[in-house]
Amino acid sequence: MAKFFKYTFGQAGILTPIPNDTQVDGSISYEQGFSTDYTLNPEFDPVTAKEVPLAQTNQYLNDITGAVQQYQTNGFPDFITAVDNDGVPYPYDINSFVRYNDQIYFSLINGNTDIPPSANWALSSATDPSQIVKPALVGKSVSQNLGFAKSLITFDGVAEFDPDGIYVPGNSSFQPIIPGYYTIYGLISSSAGVTIAGDFEIDFYLNGALYKRLGTKRLISAENGDINNSVTIAMNGTTDYIQLYGSFSSVAGENVGGNPQLTYFGINYVNSF
């Protein structure tokens, strides 16, 4: 195999930083390298001729082997900050991978100067960094009547977006395929003014059992009500699934759903375990 750089070149030796930009005195820089001054014979041109500097030669070889070592040990390059780039944010191309705060991000646009996380970066899976963990959303619940008993809030069979195919229409659930922490969010609205006053209640259910309460709202006669909230949860990426359940504490029950602007259920990946 290619050499593993256990040590970066000269790390225990003399190192002197090298400027990025071309120097007016002809000394070494990353932009120009060694100028023609270093080709001159100091015996005949003692003023202009320059000798190859030991400390800066150590430095550029240290910088090169250090960059290679970063790939060898981390797999992805560290995010380039503005400080690293002479005060200017570096514009990443689309499909670029970077490592930032121990997470791997993937650029979604060209000329991306955002600092992760942002809408222009997608978080990659820690178990497979080439796998981008994408959010999913289903935006239209099926109009249904909620009564005393907790009932599954059902959604139509078409997600607004679900690139990884984690929405399961048969039981209106999300079942992630990558283990990690996820933020689950939702909004459920009564679809018409209630006929009898009562308590409107929505819960997050994990694997068919109550996990956290989304919210409770007391509604008076003829009043509409919305409940929305979010929760962060650890999911194993195989069998774990999440759903919304609801109830309404009146004899007649109450209708919810049917409007994509008023009801939704979504999931976002946060990070790995």
Query: How high is the pLDDT of residue 53?
Result: 95
Query: How high is the pLDDT of residue 193?
Result: 57
Q: What is the mean pLDDT of residues 56-63?
A: 95
Centroid of chain to Cα 157: 27
State yes or no: pLDDT of 161 exceeds 60: yes
Query: How high is the pLDDT of residue 71?
Result: 84
Beta strands in 1-160 (DSSP E): 97-100, 103-107, 121-123, 136-138, 144-146, 151-152
Per-domain residue ranges for the chain? 76-132, 136-271
Q: What is the mean pLDDT of residues 21-47?
A: 95
What letter would DSSP give residue 23? Answer: P
Q: What is the mean pLDDT of residues 62-73?
A: 90
The C-alpha angle 204, 141, 131, rounded to 5 degrees, equals 65
State yes or no: pLDDT of 273 exceeds 80: no
d(CA 166, CA 233): 16
d(CA 248, CA 189): 12
Radius of gyration (Cα) for the chain, nearest Å? Answer: 29
Q: What is the mean pLDDT of residues 95-101?
A: 89
The pTM assigned to this predicted structure is: 0.55
CATH code that applies to domain 136-271:
2.60.120.40
State yes or no: pLDDT of 196 exceeds 80: no
- Work out the end-to-end distance of the chain between its first and last CA atoms, rounded to an integer number of angstroms: 32
Q: Which residues have CB under 8 Å from 68's CB, separation 6+?
A: 5
- Of the spans 51-65, 116-130, 133-147, which averages the highest pLDDT? 51-65
Q: Tokens standing for 31?
A: 């932009």
CATH C-level class of 76-132: mainly beta
Q: What is the mean pLDDT of residues 235-253?
A: 85
CA distances from 212 to 173, 229, 262 (A): 15, 10, 21
Q: What is the mean pLDDT of residues 246-253?
A: 74
- Range from 39-48, 79-88, 201-210, 249-258 carrying the lowest mean pLDDT: 249-258
